[in-house]
Amino acid sequence: MLQDTKNYAGTEAHILTLSTALSDLGSVNVEFLVPKGSELEIRGQANGIRCHVCNQNSFTFFLSAISVVRNTRPKVIHAHNGRTAIISVLVSKLLGCKVVATQHFLEPAHVSSTGILGKVKRVLHQWVGRQLDHRICVSNAAFVNMQHRGDTIAKRAESYTVIHNGIDVKNVLSGVTKMRDDVRTDFRIPVSSKLVTCAARLEAEKNIVVLIDAFKIVVEQGTNATLIIMGEGSQRMDLQQRIAELRLSDIVVLAGFRTDVHSVIAASDAFVLPAAHEPFGLVLLEAMSLGVPTIAASSGGPLEIIDDGVTGFLFRPNNPESLSKQLLHVLNDTDDCGTLRRRGQQVVMDEFSSSTMANATSVAYSAVVAEGQ
């Protein structure tokens, strides 16, 4: 597994969960090449995964990849973003191993690049696509978007698999280290107040402002509630200003990066992922596994996770009024929420477990290795 980022977000969480589950199969040995001091190094080692480390610089990373692959001779290199896909392909040209890349995003960064640099990036992206032995997409939405852009999937057009992200439910449950009352005490939330949570990077694509605007409507309807938003990002100041403008500073908290995310989600009455273009939505699975009613925009990956009104709720993307209606429905504790919680937990166990994801990935690896033998 190659990943050249130091941060720990959805992609990195996916890599760790997948790698741990693959190792548990017994038929796949996984090793990491990651930046020294990265969260993946720390968490990978804690999970018994051998970690090779190097500088985050792309050229240094490339040289390290050559060294590691030459010494360990893996049958498959698995890349998880555009930079590591390029590096993997170049290494494979030199040393002859197979390359698998996972498409994690609906719209990769190169799509929005402009000018000559943007053209160069897109040509390079298409070249890399033609060199890949296999492409894994985390959702049908991610695959369809690639088709619409005219992206080259892999060496052969049929060499792709849609494998939904999965979670280790036991690991999520073990992350709940605080009781509901303790969480409310930490944030000074009154016993009578409902709690709404969100965990996402504070970036434009996560659409946090839509959640804040919807929450304003909810409290104007007379609902006593608190909103906790966990995560960091470049929009923190803008969101803080919006909260102040709407006079919500006493009941909307930008909690930043937290290590007790699962405890806070488990203590909530509703969880919201407001992004209008979410490629999958791993955190939705985590909230559902904790028995918390989930609400997401009716687009992209969430459409493949949530059965509206059965396992969760969907709202019209970019529409605060639509989101506020779903929030009011959940927070009013309607009779169907208890059944919905149980159905949400069950669908995660049945369809989105880490073992299901690992088995499908192992099959993809085997097919790739078998080609040409």
Residue 108 has pLDDT above 90, yes or no: no
Give the span between the Cα atoms of 258 and 173, in whole angstroms. Answer: 16
Comparing 107 with 207, the larger pLDDT belongs to 207
Give the domain ranges of the chain: 10-166+354-370, 169-351
pLDDT value of residue 183: 96
Comparing 107 with 70, the larger pLDDT belongs to 70
**Residues near 319 by beta carbon (within 8 Å), at least 6 away in sequence:** 210
Measured CA distances, 317 to 7, 228, 261, 277 (Å): 28, 21, 25, 9
**What are residue 192's phi and psi, to 5 degrees?**
-80, -10
pLDDT value of residue 87: 96
Q: Express each pLDDT in 10-48 by its tens digit.
A: 899 999 999 999 999 999 999 999 999 999 999 999 999
Q: Express each pLDDT in 226-242 by its tens digit.
A: 999 999 999 999 999 99
pLDDT value of residue 119: 87
**Residues near 68 by beta carbon (within 8 Å), at least 6 away in sequence:** 31, 33, 52
pLDDT value of residue 117: 85
pTM of the model as a whole: 0.90
| Top CATH class, 169-351 | alpha beta
Give the span between the Cα atoms of 10 and 45, in whole angstroms. Answer: 19
CB atoms within 10 A of CB 170: 11
pLDDT value of residue 208: 98
Are residues 183 and 264 in contact, defined by beta-carbon separation less than 8 angstroms?
A: yes
Residue 312 has pLDDT above 90, yes or no: yes
Comparing 332 with 362, the larger pLDDT belongs to 362
Equal fold, 10-166+354-370 vs 169-351: yes
pLDDT value of residue 240: 98
pLDDT value of residue 121: 85
Residue 7 has pLDDT above 90, yes or no: no
Q: Express each pLDDT in 253-264 by its tens digit.
A: 999 999 999 999
Span 312-329, mean pLDDT?
97
pLDDT value of residue 372: 62
Task: Compute the mean pLDDT over every residue in the chain, rounded to the nearest whole number.
Answer: 94
CATH topology of domain 10-166+354-370: Rossmann fold (3.40.50)
Give the span between the Cα atoms of 75 and 370, in whole angstroms. Answer: 10
Confidence label for 334 from pLDDT (cuts 50, 70 and 90): low
Span 141-165, mean pLDDT?
93
pLDDT value of residue 9: 84
Give the span between the Cα atoms of 29 and 9, in whole angstroms. Answer: 24
Residue 163 has pLDDT above 90, yes or no: yes
Query: What percentage of residues in the chain have a pLDDT greater than 70?
Result: 99
Confidence label for 280 from pLDDT (cuts 50, 70 and 90): very high
Residue 317 has pLDDT above 90, yes or no: yes
**Residues near 271 by beta carbon (within 8 Å), at least 6 away in sequence:** 196, 197, 198, 199, 265, 283, 284, 287, 292, 293, 294, 295
Residue 373 has pLDDT above 70, yes or no: no
User: What are the contacts of 39-47 at 24+ separation with CB within 8 A?
Assistant: 39/6, 39/7, 39/8, 39/12, 40/3, 40/5, 40/8, 40/12, 40/15, 40/16, 43/8, 43/16, 44/16, 44/19, 47/16, 47/19, 47/20, 47/23
Give the span between the Cα atoms of 300 and 142, in whole angstroms. Answer: 8
Span 196-224, mean pLDDT?
96
CB atoms within 10 A of CB 359: 16
